[in-house]
Structure 1
Amino acid sequence: MIRFENVSVTYDGAAEPTVQGVDFEVPEGELVLLVGPSGVGKSTVLGAVSGLVPHFTGGTLRGRVTVAGRDTRTHKPRELADVVGTVGQDPLSHFVTDTVEDELAYGMESLGLAPDVMRRRVEETLDLLGLADLRDRSISTLSGGQQQRVAIGSVLTPHPGVLILDEPTSALDPAAAEEVLAVLQRLVHDLGTTILMAEHRLERVVQYADQIALLPSPGAPPVLGTPAEVMAVSPVYPPVVGLGRLADWTPLPLTVRDARRRATGLREQLNGRDPIALQGRGAVFDLRLPPRERDQPQRTRSRQQSTPPELAGAHALTVTRDHIRALHHINLTVTPGETIALMGRNGAGKSTLLNTLVGLIKPSAGEVNVGGAVPHRTPPQDLVRRVGLVPQEPRDLLYADTVAAECTAADTDAGAEPGTCRALVSELLPDIPDDTHPRDLSEGQRLTLALAVVLTARPPLLLLDEPTRGLDYAAKSRLVTLLRDLAAEGHAIVLATHDVELAAELAHRVILLAEGEVIADGPTAEVVVSSPSFAPQVTKILAPQQWLTVAQVRRALS
């Protein structure tokens, strides 16, 4: 169905091809997973199938890409629209209408389908993706994960023979991701749809793939094979594979179920060891207070001498937006050196809480303070030295024409020494040239640049909204190291994330939100171990023992 014949792509002004030697076939009715570190050209390969490369992006495509027999060099994206459906990393760039139902129908209208067919397919897609309750909602009022489901639905309704998906689960909570992947698997198995997908959250998708195409490094030809074959040699792999490599299991398990069957001996080796003592956290603080008591306002706890000072907090916080109650009666304290993961399904209120803490949203009721200031009443030039937010959409922070210009502006705005921001970028993302335009970076690279811009001011409170979207495991590891160092220096970190592996690796404390309310708040091990949806892979494999990460297990065995 999709055929790459010795394909290379060189963008204008680039000295070397972004990808080259791409030569493989995606058979009809198969799901092929494209994996590799950030920046190796996965999005370029996907774009070559839809015709966006080179018709929209520019550059030179050598070789040949055919989809259902159509050469993408001679067929522009609109001439492939009836065959290829594409969802990129940024769902907002897809939308052309205002409401969910209109967006699902738009692609079919463009193809001239009959109204009764359109109605039936819209209803089917609303049910498939759990969007029925959102059908009349304005897209601008949806959470990032809800928007991503709408973007996926909008390309499913025309029933294309080929789906091209770039990070389709990156903004989805674990349950929603499982639902979407189950839908994709049904399309492949029951309808013969062909899917080529790039995804960094391999723990979610590797078991669904028929084949994996690994791009090991920029410009290197892909390595094609079965999931087990490729995972055995891949530089990026999910925790289940990491545990299998550590325990020397052959063949490598790709699912929690397979790993649990092999883990009896490993559990016996680990029996009697203390996972909590081996977490390797970057900072230490008092977690002995029960959640309900810890979340009381500071003035009710001032007599408790063992309680750390409050860096930020909320008391009876309620936020209502567009007649929708986004947050209700939230009580929260954040102390220096503490790393908190906000988790919960899409639309639970995580982003709203972060935006309220940084002053972008005014509370409807209750109180918020950050460093003794009320965020929405504090001038931005003062607030930036108290709190910084890295949003889901990093482009909201990036406005210069080059990476160097962004870094220079960040140094100036923060009053930092020249070169401070650039040093942070180099630490997180080596080998990014100064003259690169931010729009030419991958989603993960843009996110990292935005993080460096915010960190330049060294705010005591750092807020991150889905910080691992688009990041491979190596980039995520560098991010974890940086955030641990910041916590050790006394910075407080609050991150909204669906990445359960990140929470297990980094967070001291997890707060679960549902329908705008706190439903759980406590030490990471206590909260995630008891949650089937938010437990990391290692926890599921080694239960009832409370291990969270492969790194913990490795330290215990050594």
Structure 2
Amino acid sequence: MIVFDDVSLVHDDGRVVLDHVSTTIVQGQLTLVAGGTGSGKSTLLAMVDGLVPHFSPGVMTGEVTVDGRSTRLVRPRDLADLVGYVAQNPAHGFVTSEVESELAFSMEQRGVSPAAMRRRVEETLDLVGLADLRERPLRSLSLGQQQRVAIGAVLTAAPQVLVLDEPTSALDPVGAEEVLAIVRRLVEDLGLTVVLAEHRLERVLHAADGVLYLPGDGSVRSGGAAELLRGTSSAPPLLRLADALGWDPAPLTVRAARPFARLVVRDDGSAREPAAPLECPREAAHDDPRLVARSVSVRYGTLEAVRSVSTDLSSGEVVALMGRNGSGKSSLLWALQGSGRRDGGHVQVDGSDPADVGPRRARDLVALVPQDVTDLFFCETVDDECRAADHDAAVPDGTTRALLASMVGGVDGGTHPRDLSEGQRLALALAVVLAVPARVLLLDEPTRGLDYAAKATLVDTLRTIAREGTAVVVATHDVELAADLADRVVLMAQGEIVADGPAREMLTASTGFAPQVAKVFAPSPWFRVSDVLGSTAL
């Protein structure tokens, strides 16, 4: 169906993204594209749609064909009946203002009859779970809801190939499962060919028929998940455990891992029952209040996004703010930061309300990394952004650049920030914000586009900041990040805090928000890979 024949791509700056790649993507299958941040996954996907080479800086050689059509010779608009493409940030592809009109737009451009158009829109609304949002403005939706709209918009055109760039990155665990179930149904019932890139492999690995792995050296390897990913930085938790504990064959699902979990194997092949680990010292209570919020409310017309929320954040505490898409997490963060909407209540950080002080003082009190990080950029190059951050933070030159390199390597300093991949843009935004110390640090979905290695660096960085006294709140759907990072988990639903407690207690007691280790080893209190590997049973 999709053939890469000796394909290479060299950027204008001389960087080799793909190097003499030859591979085939089978028709009617779900193919997972895996690899580190900046390894070329998005570029490979864009080649299927023809965005590369037609809208890409660089020189492409070789041939990519989709159902016999060359994407080098046929422009993307002429492939629209064959390939549907959803980018990492769905909002960048919207052309209308409301959900229903966005779903209908591609059909209007192709002259589909009104009766057929109405039927397809209704089917798609049900398929992707948007029926209740059909009249909502796109700008009022959460990023996860926007992602559903973007997928639905390409499905109404009835393509044969669906290309998805991190489709679950902004979705809560339950929503991600629903979207993946939809994708599998499209593959199994309609014979659609799906090519999907993702960093949170624990969510999607079990659903894939095959894997393309990009190690970052320009090559592309094809095969099974276990053979390609074991021992790499892209290995999800179960494969990391399989490597460390000698599980064979390596399990890809929680169900397949449970038999191995009954016994933890030593190097000599003997075994014993796993022992419960000691509680993590990071879960100790913090007594120094850093932020106090009381009765905070946020309304958008008749929608009450945040309903009289009260919470405290302590010095050195790391809190994971979790909940389904649209539960009010982002609205709460902006209300706490001070520049966002707040229709009731008050916030105090070191005796001041961030909403009532000047921009510079507010920045010292509360810093926020938003979902759309491009809002933070104002310079023409990556190096200029880093130098400006160093100047604002009064730190030595190169500090921000070094922090960026520690999270994502190989970023060309002369590149415009908006030309970076989603993961590279996010890493740059994190580096810029983290360069300026603040009393409270808020991060809204900070791991979209980051691979496991980059996330581990982020965890270490945020822990260091917390140890220095900053209160950190991370709004996230990434349960593995919450397990590795958080002292405390706050769960929101319908604008309210419905649960609040220690991370271990919250994540092991939850079904929808439990990490893989917690599911595999239940009822053990283990919920991180390090819990298992550090157990006295090993």
| Structure 2 residue aligned with 1:421 | 400
Matches within 5 A, 1:401-420: 401-420=380-399
Q: Which of these residues, 506, 510, 514, is aligned with residue 527 of structure 1? A: 506
Amino acid at match of 1:16: R
Which moves more between the two structures, 200-209 or 241-250? 241-250
| Structure 2 residue aligned with 1:299 | none
| Structure 2 residue aligned with 1:228 | 226
Is 1:274 the equivalent of 2:277? yes
| Structure 1 residue aligned with 2:90 | 91
| Structure 2 residue aligned with 1:303 | none
Which moves more between the two structures, 431-440 or 145-154? 431-440
Deviations along 1:122-180, one digit per CA (max 9) or x if unpaired, are 11111111111111000001111111111111111111000111101000001110011
Is 1:218 the equivalent of 2:217? yes
Whether the 8 Å CA contact 2:5–2:64 is kept in 1: the answer is yes
Alpha-carbon distance between aligned partners in 1 of 2:275 and 2:258, rounded to the nearest angstrom: 19
1:228 deviates by 2.8
Q: Which of these residues, 233, 241, 244, is aligned with residue 243 of structure 1? A: 241
Q: CA RMSD in A?
A: 1.5
**SS of residue paired to 1:212:** strand
1:285 deviates by 4.1
TM-score when normalising by structure 2? 0.96
Deviations along 1:213-266, one digit per CA (max 9) or x if unpaired, are 1111232x2111022322335431111211222221111100001111332113
Alpha-carbon distance between aligned partners in 1 of 2:3 and 2:500, rounded to the nearest angstrom: 50
Deviations along 1:459-503, one digit per CA (max 9) or x if unpaired, are 121110001000000101111111111111111100000000000
Amino acid at match of 2:326: G
| Structure 1 residue aligned with 2:6 | 6
Distance 1:392 1:270, change over 3 A: farther
| Structure 1 residue aligned with 2:59 | 60
1:455 deviates by 1.2
Which moves more between the two structures, 382-391 or 493-502? 382-391
Whether the 8 Å CA contact 1:214–1:230 is kept in 2: the answer is yes
Q: Which of these residues, 355, 368, 380, is aligned with residue 389 of structure 1? A: 368
Matches within 5 A, 1:229-378: 229-266=227-264, 269=272, 271-276=274-279, 279=280, 283=282, 285-286=284-285, 308-378=287-357
Is 1:447 the equivalent of 2:446? no
| Structure 1 residue aligned with 2:81 | 82
Alpha-carbon distance between aligned partners in 2 of 1:482 and 1:273, rounded to the nearest angstrom: 28
Aligned residues: 532
**SS of residue paired to 1:40:** coil
Whether the 8 Å CA contact 1:284–1:337 is kept in 2: the answer is no
| Structure 1 residue aligned with 2:517 | 538
Amino acid at match of 1:229: E
Deviations along 1:494-516, one digit per CA (max 9) or x if unpaired, are 00000000000000000000000
**SS of residue paired to 1:112:** coil
TM-score when normalising by structure 1? 0.93
Amino acid at match of 2:447: T
Whether the 8 Å CA contact 1:210–1:227 is kept in 2: the answer is no
1:386 deviates by 1.3
**SS of residue paired to 1:447:** helix
Q: Identical aligned pairs, as a percentage? A: 50
Alpha-carbon distance between aligned partners in 2 of 1:322 and 1:412, rounded to the nearest angstrom: 40
Alpha-carbon distance between aligned partners in 2 of 1:233 and 1:413, rounded to the nearest angstrom: 40
| Structure 1 residue aligned with 2:492 | 513
Matches within 5 A, 1:454-493: 454-493=433-472
Distance 1:284 1:258, change over 3 A: closer
Which moves more between the two structures, 338-347 or 373-382? 373-382
Alpha-carbon distance between aligned partners in 2 of 1:2 and 1:436, rounded to the nearest angstrom: 31
Structure 1 runs not aligned, ≥5 long: 288-307
| Structure 1 residue aligned with 2:268 | none
Whether the 8 Å CA contact 2:37–2:449 is kept in 1: the answer is yes
Alpha-carbon distance between aligned partners in 2 of 1:196 and 1:436, rounded to the nearest angstrom: 28
1:530 deviates by 1.3
Whether the 8 Å CA contact 1:36–1:42 is kept in 2: the answer is yes
Matches within 5 A, 1:194-205: 194-205=193-204
| Structure 1 residue aligned with 2:106 | 107
**SS of residue paired to 2:263:** helix
Whether the 8 Å CA contact 1:275–1:546 is kept in 2: the answer is no
Deviations along 1:61-120, one digit per CA (max 9) or x if unpaired, are 100000111001110000000000000111111100000011111111112211111111
Whether the 8 Å CA contact 1:411–1:418 is kept in 2: the answer is yes
| Structure 1 residue aligned with 2:45 | 46
Is 1:206 the equivalent of 2:220? no
Alpha-carbon distance between aligned partners in 2 of 1:388 and 1:285, rounded to the nearest angstrom: 25
**SS of residue paired to 2:480:** helix
Whether the 8 Å CA contact 1:39–1:218 is kept in 2: the answer is no
Whether the 8 Å CA contact 1:411–1:456 is kept in 2: the answer is yes
Whether the 8 Å CA contact 1:357–1:370 is kept in 2: the answer is no
1:275 deviates by 4.3
Alpha-carbon distance between aligned partners in 2 of 1:100 and 1:448, rounded to the nearest angstrom: 30
Alpha-carbon distance between aligned partners in 1 of 2:238 and 2:107, rounded to the nearest angstrom: 40
Whether the 8 Å CA contact 2:283–2:488 is kept in 1: the answer is no
Alpha-carbon distance between aligned partners in 2 of 1:488 and 1:50, rounded to the nearest angstrom: 46
**SS of residue paired to 1:385:** helix
**SS of residue paired to 1:122:** helix
